[in-house]
Structure 1
Amino acid sequence: MVRKIAAVLCVLALAACSAVYRNHGYVPKEEDLSQIVVGVDTRDTVAEVVGSPSAGGVLDSSGYYYVQSRVRHYAYRRPEVVSREVLAISFDDAGVVRNIERFGLEDGQVVPLARRVTESATADNGFLRQLLRNLGNFAAGDILD
């Protein structure tokens, strides 16, 4: 009985240390991309054929970007990006497909897709300095009303 319990505990311990993979994003299949004709299709037809992009360019003429990532989570370690694929569809000024490109991790460095940093205008000001600076902003008429 003790051996069975020990065996079950060993199996559970090994299962707890196994890697967990998570997939994020979407990149269209090659069969869907073969329906897009460079120089003929427009933004609307691309969205109809392969779906809405994960991200669009800053400018209207810059393009559509489809991003797919696979991340491995292993026990207490930091999550690791195992694969990332970016499909870039660029358009000309008239909104017609100009180029279709694929990029992966082997093409460059891992680039974070989101950076959540809030800039603060109070970097050099302490609490007391901020409090004393606001004392002059009150008018007696506002308080007495």
Structure 2
Amino acid sequence: MEKRCGYWLFCISSSLGVYFGITIFFLFTFFYHNNHAGTWGLLSAMFAGICLHLKLLSSNHRLSVWYSIGQLHALAAFGFICFCLSLGFTAWYIIYAAYHHIPMLPVGGSYYLAAVWSVMTAKWTLCTFFMSYRYARIIRYNTPFLIIQEDA
């Protein structure tokens, strides 16, 4: 069965999200000593990997083998909480840097770069929320009634 163009675009973008997040983690943490931006890069890579994992499982019709409906709802709730936290940290980084007149360069002390990567984390956490919720609904409504196993 052929995959649509949107499928390939999403897989490529989430793969690039994983790659760049891990690269940013090592580059900013160990070379530039900007631990804030490096940590957000690693978190962004983790959530991009979760999105890629969910998309690949869904396209291969293996999602219900790996996850139950309750686990997908828990993952959606976790994604939404992390989305709210990353948006809050984005606002805090921008306000803190503007209030204390912290410049963008040098990279090692830049809070603006940490804000950029917390926005990237917010993007992937929101994607995790929507995908998990959507796939939980797909499993619920496409599974025969007697086969559904609800986790409390």
The structure where helix makes up a greater share of residues is 2
Q: Which has the higher contact order (CA 8 A, sep 6+)?
A: 2
TM-score (norm 2): 0.22
- Which of these two proteins has the greater Rg computed from alpha carbons? 1
The structure where strand makes up a greater share of residues is 1
TM-score (norm 1): 0.23
